[in-house]
Copies of this chain bind each other. A is one copy, B any other.
Amino acid sequence: MNTFGHLFRITTWGESHGGAVGVVVDGCPPQIDLDISAIQFELDRRKPGQSHLTTPRQEGDAVEILSGLFEGKTLGTPISMLVWNKDARPAAYNHLKDLYRPSHADYTYQQKYGIRNWQGGGRASARETIGRVAAGAIAKQILCERSGTEVLAYVKQIHTLTADVDTDTVTLDAIEASPVRCPDPIVSPKMAERIDQARRDQDSLGGVIASVTRNVPVGLGEPVFDKLKADLAKAMMSLPATLGFQIGSGFEGTAMTGSEHNDAFYIEKEGEAGRVRTRTNNSGGTQGGISNGENIVFQVAFKPTATIGKPQQTVDVDGNEVTLEASGRHDPCVLVRAPAIVEAMAALVLTDHLLRQQAKS
């Protein structure tokens, strides 16, 4: 369904063209001084048109909060937020009414429901993530307030270009300083150039987002099906355009032996003296599905955007093979906007498990 989470639970709604898109956040603890500008900040990080590198569509994406707050504080009741759709130009999509765009959701929606909103992506549009990002911004505030937990994500790879970033020390400022949100000052301009080239080629690029969460309380995650890594994987793979998820050493770790891969425990002598730590973090911050207090590190693979300018072979709703001509504009690399979304989903998962863990105390 359109609901995610167990105790901290969001329900998103809305098509890309139509009245609005929004989210209901249920289970938010009461008495939190909600920083609404922090919600808008995240929406601005997510929105298209931030620079020439992203889509030229100008969306205001100003959030309205309709419930759940009283004198600036959360009531513990559902927080309803929405963003109005402003860029509705249905005519721009008329040529899509009768055909299925390759690697889009047009065909599967039509088969599943027997109907689809063919004006833009409809429910499958990336605009649906607005609700996730707004809700995630609330989750971030809870995490920060409760345990100083900070979630970050950045562009690790675009096309064949891979950044060299120290995950343990990367900062939000460093990420935001890069127009492609890649905090590697050498690779970042090359990525920008590659994206520009893709636009000129009427083509698109994919890549990898890396994420790190610091100051994670020990004990989050349920041991069997709702392992922290399982819920993170579901969260990320529920995003449009994702192809893969890996935690800790990931696919590369499969080529190591156990004696190389195991994370040896030791007792911290300085700082938080006496705390149990691991010398390596191949586990990526969880063991047995439960956080062990090390940084949670994972990566998400995004396919190259399905919308491109080049002509493509496809079929129409009547079963004819046809050519889809260029639509005139496209966003050659959505990864630049993805860090805010990945952070939001990670924050939602962690907040949910934080509340679940409280129930066990």
Complex CA–CA separation, A223 to B76 (angstroms): 10
Write out the residue numbers on chain B whose beta carbons fall within 8 Å of the beta carbon of A76.
Answer: 112-113, 115, 360
Tally A residues with Cβ within 8 Å of B: 151
Write out the residue numbers on chain B whose beta carbons fall within 8 Å of the beta carbon of A82.
Answer: 66, 80
Q: Does A328 contact B (CB under 8 A)?
A: no
Contact of A80 among B14, B31, B102, B315 (CB under 8 A): B14
Query: Are the CB atoms of B75 and A117 closer together than 8 Å?
Result: yes
Q: Using known A-B contacts A225-B2, A288-B124, determine if residue A315 contacts B267 with beta carbons closer than 8 Å.
A: yes
Q: In chain B, what residue has the closest Cβ to A330?
A: B258
Complex CA–CA separation, A92 to B12 (angstroms): 35
Q: In chain B, what residue has the closest Cβ to A14?
A: B67
Q: Does A185 contact B (CB under 8 A)?
A: no
Q: List 10 A-B contacts (CB under 8 A).
A: A7-B7, A13-B78, A20-B67, A22-B80, A76-B360, A100-B265, A243-B253, A251-B251, A262-B306, A267-B319
Query: Are the CB atoms of B257 and A18 closer together than 8 Å?
Result: no
Q: In chain B, what residue has the closest Cβ to A123?
A: B77
Q: In chain B, what residue has the closest Cβ to A359?
A: B359
Contact of A24 among B24, B159, B250, B307 (CB under 8 A): B24
Q: Using known A-B contacts A2-B77, A75-B123, A237-B230, determine if residue A301 contacts B253 with beta carbons closer than 8 Å.
A: yes
Query: Are the CB atoms of A301 and B13 closer together than 8 Å?
Result: no
User: A33: shortest Cβ distance to chain B, in Å?
Assistant: 11
Complex CA–CA separation, A261 to B302 (angstroms): 11
| Chain A 232-269: CB-based contact to B (< 8 A → 1; otherwise 0) | 11111110101111111111011111111111111100
Q: Using known A-B contacts A230-B234, A360-B30, determine if residue A254 contacts B208 with beta carbons closer than 8 Å.
A: yes
Contact of A246 among B244, B291, B306 (CB under 8 A): B244
Q: Does A133 contact B (CB under 8 A)?
A: no
Q: Give the interface centre of A244, A248, A310, A357 by most chain B CB atoms within 10 Å.
A: A244
Q: Does A11 contact B (CB under 8 A)?
A: yes
Complex CA–CA separation, A323 to B41 (angstroms): 48
Complex CA–CA separation, A196 to B75 (angstroms): 37
Of the stretches A54-62, A163-171, A175-183, A199-207, the one at the interface is A199-207
6 nearest interchain CB pairs? Answer: A105-B288, A244-B246, A204-B258, A19-B66, A108-B290, A234-B234
Complex CA–CA separation, A218 to B107 (angstroms): 10
| Chain A 273-302: CB-based contact to B (< 8 A → 1; otherwise 0) | 010101100111011111110000000011
Copies in the complex: 4
Q: In chain B, what residue has the closest Cβ to A27?
A: B1
Query: Are the CB atoms of B321 and A224 closer together than 8 Å?
Result: no
Complex CA–CA separation, A255 to B159 (angstroms): 4
Complex CA–CA separation, A238 to B225 (angstroms): 5
Complex CA–CA separation, A229 to B234 (angstroms): 8
Write out the residue numbers on chain B whose beta carbons fall within 8 Å of the beta carbon of A144.
Answer: none
Q: Does A305 contact B (CB under 8 A)?
A: yes
Q: Does A222 contact B (CB under 8 A)?
A: yes
Write out the residue numbers on chain B whose beta carbons fall within 8 Å of the beta carbon of A218.
Answer: 108, 111-112
Q: Does A192 contact B (CB under 8 A)?
A: no
Q: Does A122 contact B (CB under 8 A)?
A: yes
Query: Are the CB atoms of A301 and B103 closer together than 8 Å?
Result: no
8 extra A-B contacts, CB within 8 A, seeds A31-B113, A230-B237, A233-B245: A103-B263, A159-B255, A237-B247, A243-B248, A253-B304, A254-B301, A267-B321, A358-B361
